[in-house]
Structure 1
Amino acid sequence: MKKILVLTCMALGMMSCEKDPDLGQLDTNMVVYTDYDSKTDFGKFQTYFLPDSILEAGSHHATYWKDENAQKIIAAVEAEMNSRGYRRITDPAQKADADLGVQLSYIAQQVNVTTGWWGGWWDYGFWGPWWGGWYYPYTVNYSYDTNSLVMEMVDLSDGGKEGDEKAQLPVVWYAHSSGYQYYSGYNIQLMTEAVDQAFEQSPYIQSNN
């Protein structure tokens, strides 16, 4: 399992990189962390389904972010995936035919998550009625601050069999970007740059087709 963490170095008295930087002082970049299942062959995948909205998660409920700003972030992810040789499926009725599912979430309020995706947000039934849940092949145990963008990639290629309640979705790639939230609004440029950085840190995401 490879873990890559890009930290912004701040010249504050001493020239050094902090392991856990003060996110309130990151005014030029977001901290980008990526992780993936090293046993996954990303080259075998050809298609992916990316929803036209971003889940905006709070402490108690979630909404879906679909405006022009959300579309800019989604477009950045689509551009990266297409440049790696994958083809996007846009028809929701055909998402079950995709090899990969890509889901984006924006953390509107501080949230604590321990080993796995928070229940009740991205309902596993979204990817198909036969899926009984999902899992990470690696440990996820984070506290998300406001202005965090989370990207996850799930393997749909094996396909859960209808009626098989034990079928689970493996999360094969994960990216988490955090930074300062300006004037209680979105900084779309920083988030799209974080998308680019996350993929730059993930050269293994590449289709062989």
Structure 2
Amino acid sequence: MKKSILLLLSIVLLSSCSTIKVVSDYDSKVDFTKYKTYAFYKPEIDKAKISDLDKKRILRAIETELLAKGFTKSKKPDMLVGIFTKSREKVNINQNNVGFGWNPWWGGMNNNNMNINQYTEGTLFIDFIDKEKKELIWQGVGTGALKLQNRAKKVERINLFVKEIIAKFPPSEDK
């Protein structure tokens, strides 16, 4: 029984770390239907504090998602796309009490298990900027656990982050 409880808690803990929380915000006065083309905004991308390889992975994922939504990359774009990132170390402490506790009349069993999980939480910001006005028109933010993993798993995780963020673009009133 003890092992099955620990297994269940481990599954819940691991699945909670794999989720990505996404929020977005936008200028409600903007007509997003006028945007058809995009280019990457190099000054903002250069400031992202991640490896150049991860930047390329993120930009490829953004291209894939925007292409699927009907946008075209252009040298004369309607909007610019920028990214930046943040990360921080997180610690989860879960205490599992199994048993009946202590009673002076009949004794009892009490088993305290403490699970400590340390991980890095990453946040990816994707900005859409009106090219003419140089104003931010939409921002999507995805936050989730980053795991040390092989290259293929890293690419998969980056693609998932970008896909979930871009799913909220362009905004619609029914969402």
Query: Structure 1-normalised TM-score?
Result: 0.50
Q: Which amino acid aligns with 1:104?
A: I
Aligned partner of residue 40 in structure 1, secondary structure: coil
The correspondence for 1:157, drawn from 126, 129, 132, is: 132
- Pairwise CA RMSD: 3.3
Separation of aligned partners in 2, 1:101 and 1:203: 14
| Distance apart, 1:191 and its partner CA | 2.8
Match status 1:48 vs 2:13: no
2:77 is aligned with 1:98 = yes
Alpha carbons 2:142, 2:164 under 8 Å: kept = no
For the structure 1 residues 188 and 178, does the alpha-carbon distance in structure 2 shift closer, same or farther, using more than 3 Å as the test?
farther
Question: Which structure shows the bigger proportion of residues in helix conformation?
Answer: 2
**Matches of residues 1-209 of structure 1 in structure 2 within 5 Å?**
26-51=16-41, 55-57=47-49, 65-67=51-53, 69-89=54-74, 94=75, 97-109=76-88, 146-158=121-133, 169-183=134-148, 187-204=154-171
Deviation at 1:74, TM superposition (A): 1.0
1:88 to partner: Cα distance? 0.8
Unaligned runs of 5+ in 2: 1-7, 90-119
Contact map agreement 1:47 1:86 (CA 8 A) in 2? yes
Q: What is the one-letter code of the residue matched to 2:26?
A: Y
Q: Matched residues, percent identical?
A: 20
Taking a change above 3 Å as real, the CA distance of residues 65 and 189 of structure 1, as seen in their structure-2 partners, is same
Residues 157, 83 of structure 1: alpha-carbon distance in 2 compared, 3 angstrom cutoff: farther
Offset, 1:33: 1.0
CA displacement, residues 134-176 of structure 1 (integer Å, 9 cap, x when unaligned): xxxxxxxxxxx84111111110134xxxxxxxxxx32111011
Cα distance in 1, alignment partners of residues 150 and 132 from structure 2? 37
Q: What CA distance in whole angstroms lies between the structure 2 residues aligned with 1:185 and 1:153?
A: 30
- How many residues get paired? 129
TM-score (norm 2): 0.59
- Unaligned runs of 5+ residues in structure 1 are 1-10, 13-21, 58-63, 111-144, 159-168
> In the aligned structure 2, how far is the partner of 1:77 from the partner of 1:203?
13
